[in-house]
Amino acid sequence: MSAVVSVEGVAVRLGGRLVLRDVDLDVARGELVGLIGPNGAGKTTLLRTLLGLLSPMRGTVTIAGRRARAGAIPIGYVPQRHEFAWEFPISVEQVVMTGLTGKLGLLRRPGVAEWRAVDEALERVRIADLRTRPVGELSGGQRQRVAVARALAPQPAALLLDEPFTGLDMPTQDLLSELFASLAREGRAVLMTTHDIAGAIHGCDRLALLDRTIVAAGSPQRLARDAGLWMRTFGVGERSPLLRILKAAA
């Protein structure tokens, strides 16, 4: 499978501190990859680098064969839910339309093609019936679907999800997990950061453990069998609940 997201030897320095070093990571078309690591491991920094918001001091980042640069690459981004102004008086379809603002460019108004793209994105995440509802009235799961629809509107080749399960109940997490897997099956490269290790092991095609650098990457079941790897990465002991999760998954 060809890599849509390609990270080679990337190092990123923030505020004088080396946050990422020697990061290599590929996400292929049709693949859902879980990016896992402790707090401060550099997950969000890596996502921001992929989005072209941070410039690596070393290495290269390419998306669909083009060097990552904000606005210049076909990439969909779903930020953490608290970063979005949900109290804004705006309907679901208007929010999804904002996903096309960059593509439309200055001074151009949305036309038939743009509204068709919004329709398709809403249908794809199964919230077309909510299209005229104010986003402030939606549940957490519905809001996350709106954010995914907004990211899908420009029809990106790659989708980046920043902790999409945080604060959601288990049934909602399961539904979203199925959605993300099906979005990958349709030919997108999907990279998701998460602290939900059990969900990532069950839902992702591949996991990448990040702690300033990629310490391991591979199939969830293979990584789950190496308890020592997780204990070192997360700095936990043998009695940690994390190991019980891994044992159940392995």
Partner 1 sequence: MSPAEFVGDLLNPDLAFLPKALLVAVMSSIVCGVVGCYVVLRGMAFIGDAVAHAVFPGLAVAFVLGGSLVLGGVVAGVATAVLVAVFSQNRRLREDSVIGVFFVAAFALGIVVISRAPGYAGSLQQFLFGSITGIPDEDVAIVAGTGVVVLGVALLLHKELVTVSLDRETARAMGLRVFALDLVLYVLVTLAVVISVQTIGNILVLALLITPAATARLLTDRLGAMMALAPAIGGLAALVGLYVSWSWDYPTGGTIVLVLTAFFLAAWFLAPRQGLIAKRSKWD
Residues making contact with partner 1 (CB under 8 A): 15, 48, 51-53, 70-72, 75, 77, 79, 83-85, 88-91, 94-95, 97-99, 101-104, 106-107, 109-110, 134, 136-137, 150
Q: Cβ 152 to partner 1, closest distance in Å?
A: 13
Comparing CB distances to partner 1, the nearer of 88 and 219 is: 88
Judge whether 36 and 6 are in contact, CB under 8 Å: no
Q: Cβ 198 to partner 1, closest distance in Å?
A: 28
Beta bridge partners of 191: 33, 160
Comparing CB distances to partner 1, the nearer of 99 and 203 is: 99
Long-range interactions of 10-16: CB distance < 8 A, separation 24+: 10/46, 10/49, 10/56, 10/58, 10/59, 10/60, 10/61, 11/56, 11/57, 11/58, 11/59, 12/42, 12/45, 12/46, 12/49, 12/54, 12/56, 12/57, 13/57, 14/45, 14/54
Q: Cβ 232 to partner 1, closest distance in Å?
A: 31
Comparing CB distances to partner 1, the nearer of 56 and 99 is: 99
Which DSSP symbol is given to 81?
G
Q: Cβ 58 to partner 1, closest distance in Å?
A: 22
Query: What whole-number distance in Å separates Cα of residue 61 and Cα of residue 158?
Result: 13
Q: Cβ 91 to partner 1, closest distance in Å?
A: 7
Judge whether 19 and 190 are in contact, CB under 8 Å: no
Q: Cβ 158 to partner 1, closest distance in Å?
A: 12
Q: In what order do the strands lie in the sheet with 17-28?
A: 17-28, 3-14, 58-63, 66-67
Q: What angle do CA 141, 119, 146 make, to 5 degrees?
A: 20
